[in-house]
Amino acid sequence: MADTTLTATGPETAVRKSALASLAEAIFSRLVIIVPYLWLLFFFFIPFVIVFKISLSTTAIAMPPYTPVLGFGHGISGLVAGLKQLSFDNYVWLTQDSLYFNAYVTSVVVAAISTALTLLVGYPIAYGMARAPATLRPTLLMLVILPFWTSFLIRVYAWIGILKPEGLLNQLLLGIGVIHEPLIITNTYTAVFIGIVYSYLPFMVLPLYSALEKMDNSLIEAAQDLGCPPITAFWKITFPLSLPGVVAGCLLVFIPAVGEFVIPDLLGGSQTLMIGRTLWNEFFANRDWPVSSAVAVILLLILIVPIVIFQNAQARAQEAGR
């Protein structure tokens, strides 16, 4: 009888343990999936809702300097009263003042040109790193990451010392006789381009290097054996295979460059009109939080909508390729 009981309960115990293990695995897998959604909820969606709520309020002489809307402190009646106070006047104001439209357009143009320049500079660097000997690649990668060890603000200030009329660049060019009078580079868009390209170059090089390093070099050798010139082989094989890295690098540079504030403020001067400086002026100088929040919401939509459209187009292209 004892042996029969043991043999009968043995399979039941094993089944229970297997069921518990499956349940634990299912719960763990769900938790792993939930973590990034929680991250987006707390650090993107909730802050966006708060900023959007402020953009629907009106300016007031108070602290904070706007009239609170959609308050939950007075229950349903307070919520209904708050809904009646919502106003889209700030968004209407942005459409009526050409300053904001020009700031948006200038920011997008400057970011697009800076992204193109960064791609032109970063692609040869990434290509050379991917073609370097395997023992040398970690060192080259470290040299690309090395500027991140220095404060971003200090690096931008260093470019002021380099580009100003009595700076190192003008002294060098005057010393070797290339120019006869100092170049005026600071407080221009040229200085802004230089600062953005330098500051965001690693964000372009790293995705490109990752894509180029994984490429099968035998494809290039096969193309050359079939009589394909090196330039043609590059445009027909290397560049198409590196497009994921190109797209990732361009997005990593373009998105923060649109809303850049420090570089235009320090290198571009007061004449540089970009949406980051406009947003800062509205928030701190004018203390108009509702208008500055509306500016931030529109800026976010300008950046998010094209990315979503691009991702949907990529998904459809992948499905069509299957």
Residues 173-191 pLDDT 10s: 999 988 888 989 988 999 9
Cis peptide before 64 (omega within 30 of 0): yes
Count of C-beta atoms within a 10 Å radius of residue 225: 8
DSSP 88-120: -HHHHHHHH-HHHHHHHHHHHHHHHHHHHHHHH
Closest CA to 99 of 295, 240, 235: 295
Q: Is 227 left (phi over 0), alpha (psi -120 to 50) or beta?
A: left
Taking 3-state DSSP, the helix, strand and coil percentages for the chain, each rounded to the nearest 5, stand at 80, 0, 20
Rounded to 5°, angle at Cα 298 from 295 and 301: 150
- Written as six digits, the tokens of 225 are 């054996």
The two tokens of residue 152 are: 């971003």
| Distance separating alpha carbons of residues 224 and 211, to the nearest angstrom | 21
Tokens for 7? 């043999």
Whole-model pTM: value is 0.81
Task: Report pLDDT digits (tens) over 53-89.
Answer: 888 888 877 777 877 766 555 555 555 555 666 778 8
The tens digit of pLDDT for each residue in 129-174 reads 999 998 999 999 999 998 888 888 899 999 999 999 888 999 999 9
Contact in structure between 279 and 299 (CB atoms under 8 Å): yes
